[in-house]
Amino acid sequence: MNHLKFRAFANGKMRYDVTGFEHGTANEMAGVFLNGDFHDIDEECIVMQCSPMKDKNGADIYDGDEVDFIGGTTASLYTHNGEYHTKGTRLIVKQLKSGFTLMLPRHSKMDTPAIVGNVTQYNFWSHSRSLVIAGNIYE
Number of domains in the chain: 1
> Residue 95 falls within a domain, yes or no?
yes
Name the pTM for this structure.
Answer: 0.85
**What is the arithmetic mean of pLDDT over 85-90?**
86
pLDDT digits (tens, 9 = 90+) for 11-39: 999 999 999 999 988 888 899 999 999 99
Comparing 130 with 72, the larger pLDDT belongs to 130
Enumerate residues 6+ apart whose C-beta is below 8 A from 128.
51, 53, 54, 55, 61
What letter represents residue 18's amino acid? V
pLDDT digits (tens, 9 = 90+) for 58-79: 999 999 999 999 988 778 887 7
> Residue 109 falls within a domain, yes or no?
yes
> Residue 1 falls within a domain, yes or no?
no
Range of the domain at 49: 6-136
